[in-house]
Amino acid sequence: MATIMVVEDNEFSRDALSRRLARRGYRIVLAVDGAEAIDLARAEQPDLILMDLGLPRVDGWEATRQLKGNPDTRHIPIIVLSAHAMTNDRDKALQAGGDEFDTKPIRFNPLLEKIEGLLARAAATT
């Protein structure tokens, strides 16, 4: 099964989301800030990243830009997660390099559909 990196600084949110994904059979890699996400993405090469925007050290915007700007990680689909549901937040997240956008609180089934869709597209291009 695919590996998903969950980048989330809130312990409760990180734990809840990663447990639900693990029950679906995904291998989970966890990062608590953007700097750790960048390093782990290079090392682990996850199949998909769920990136919170409000992160310490390096925020999700910058982490997404760096990952999409690096030839070793630019192929990894990123779903940006944000508590902000404004249209311009979605647009800014996609401009930073996110492949999809979803709002918090997370509705698991719609998020799972986005995850499965991006993984299927990525598999079709390899």
What was the pLDDT predicted at 24?
97
pLDDT tens, 91-116?
888 888 999 999 889 999 999 999 99
What was the pLDDT predicted at 17?
97
pLDDT tens, 7-61?
999 999 999 999 999 999 999 999 999 999 999 999 999 999 999 988 999 999 9
Contacts of 2 (CB under 8 A, 6+ apart): 26, 27, 46, 47, 48, 119
- How far apart are alpha carbons 2 and 32 in whole angstroms? 20
What was the pLDDT predicted at 16?
96
Among 55, 34, 48, 70, which residue's Cα sits nearest to residue 114? Answer: 48
Better-scored residue on pLDDT, 7 or 123: 7
The two most distant CA atoms of the chain are separated, in Å, by: 35
DSSP 8-state assignment for residue 51: E
Contacts of 111 (CB under 8 A, 6+ apart): 50, 79, 102
What was the pLDDT predicted at 98?
93
Match 């059979």 to its residue by tokens: 25
Decide if 27 contacts 4 (C-beta within 8 A). Answer: yes
Q: What CATH number matches the domain at 3-124, 3.40.50.360, 3.40.50.2300, 3.40.50.300, 1.10.3720.10?
A: 3.40.50.2300
Reported as a pLDDT band with limits 50, 70 and 90, residue 126 is low
Among 108, 60, 63, which residue's Cα sits nearest to residue 84? Answer: 60
